[in-house]
Amino acid sequence: MQALFSDRARLQRMLDFEAALARGEARCGVIPAAAATVIAQHCDAAAFDLTELAAATAKAGNPAIPLVKALTKRVAAVDAEAARWVHWGATSQDVMDTGLVLQQREAFHFLNTRLNELVTVLVGTVREHRHSILPGRTWLQQAVPVTFGYKAAVWLDAVMRCRSRLREVLPRLGVLQFGGAAGTLASLDSKGLDVAQALGAELGLSVPEIPWHSSRDRIVEAGSVVALLAGTLGKIARDLSLMSQTEVGEVFEPAEEGRGGSSTMPHKRNPVGCSIAISASVRIPGLMATLFAAQPQEHERGLGNWPVEWETLPEIFTLTAGSLAAMTHVLSGLEVDTERMLRNLDLSHGLLYAERVTFRLAEKLGKHAAHELTTLACQRVVATGKGLKETLAADAKVMSVLTATDLDAAFDPAQALGSTQGFIDRVLAAAGQG
């Protein structure tokens, strides 16, 4: 991802615009075909001095201005007539925005490919652990039993939504920016729309109904879709890191030489991959706030908000790519301790079956009376340290409506999973793995 948004890549995509512009204008009879050929031949980023362009950018205000000058100079060295037609009818923002769109397109394809890998890994996790029971947790407290496959299916479902967003948004974002000085293409007279269509075809981009120089919703949407992926990965990382705490010990990141250690504590096995994903999910909202703040731009082309995007959007993409790589690696080699998960079911002395008992009692006593009866029993468990099942078995009122078999069933974790398997099947089917 860093390579896709490097200075050299940015320069090349801007030059791709210039080459396509020349070819498109030649097709429309705006500039000579011979000039277009010469211009396109010199649109190779490897031939340009990045340091020199960077220095000139500081004075010009954007990199397109010195780039056009440098390209014109290179073309003029071999064909003075062709040099007259470099950048004909375009403006700096056309070059930079379209270059960014081309970079975004590559970045979305990159993320989509990597997301396919993560989906495959998660499908495997769901299948392997669909029956691995552990405590479900709400507000960081044990709630009712779930399975690890169910937790992974929740993650998988969210990841697939992110993948769908990436695919759905690309046609809306893969659009040309070409409006000239103020968006009217006045410099091309009556040929403006014809050139726009030809330019879009050259680059494989759709042509919007109207130039979008100061309408930055597309840029903000691109960042938002990627930011949602980063947040989803951060959620997975948060869950896994909590499950890997010493006192919980249900999962561990892959054990590798030099991974997760401490400079002072030899025993440490830190969830470093999760840390990468969580840190990305923490940083990106601030970057998105920058994009949102920069969105309202003045009149036909804005003053200072547009440059804000140049580094902010690539950083969002890059952080997310790093997070995705980290979590794919973590989940590919995740160590799962199913025995510890089962032992953790007993930490609350059976309290996580309280809801199940309440509904069994409610069938005989009504919901309110059953809830009060179970609540009192739970309070006795906390006070005495005895198990909830034993406490209920010693309660004459409870045993007047429940049999010992009923009580055993209420505390059987395998019978306490509700529609878990059905939900898992639905997610796997949506992933094409049903």
Return d(Cα 74, Cα 69) in angstroms, integer.
9
Q: What number of other Cβ atoms are within 10 A of residue 363's Cβ?
A: 12
| pLDDT tens per residue across span 253-285 | 998 776 655 555 566 678 999 999 999 999 999
pTM: 0.93
Return d(Cα 145, Cα 153) in angstroms, integer.
15
Distances (CA, A) of 14 to 44, 96, 186, 350: 10, 6, 22, 64
Amino acid at 263: S
pLDDT of 304 reads 87
Q: Which of 151-160, 402-411, 415-424 has the lowest mean pLDDT?
A: 402-411
Q: Cite the active site residues.
A: 262, 301
pLDDT of 263 reads 53
pLDDT of residue 325 exceeding 90: yes
| pLDDT tens per residue across span 353-379 | 999 999 999 998 899 999 999 999 999
Nearest residue to 349 (alpha-carbon basis) of 384, 314, 318, 319:
384
Q: Which residues contact 266 (CB under 8 A, 6 or more apart)?
A: none
Question: CA quadruple 63, 69, 72, 74: dihedral positive or negative?
Answer: negative
Q: What is the mean pLDDT of residues 411-424?
A: 95
Q: Which of 94-98, 266-270, 338-342, 401-405 has the lowest mean pLDDT?
A: 266-270
Q: What is the mean pLDDT of residues 215-228?
A: 97
pLDDT of 256 reads 72
pLDDT of 29 reads 97
Q: What is the mean pLDDT of residues 62-81?
A: 97
| pLDDT tens per residue across span 9-61 | 999 999 999 999 999 999 999 999 999 999 999 999 999 999 999 999 999 99
pLDDT of residue 85 exceeding 80: yes
| pLDDT tens per residue across span 290-300 | 999 999 999 99
Q: Which residues contact 325 (CB under 8 A, 6 or more apart)?
A: 114
Q: Which residues contact 108 (CB under 8 A, 6 or more apart)?
A: 166, 169, 170, 173
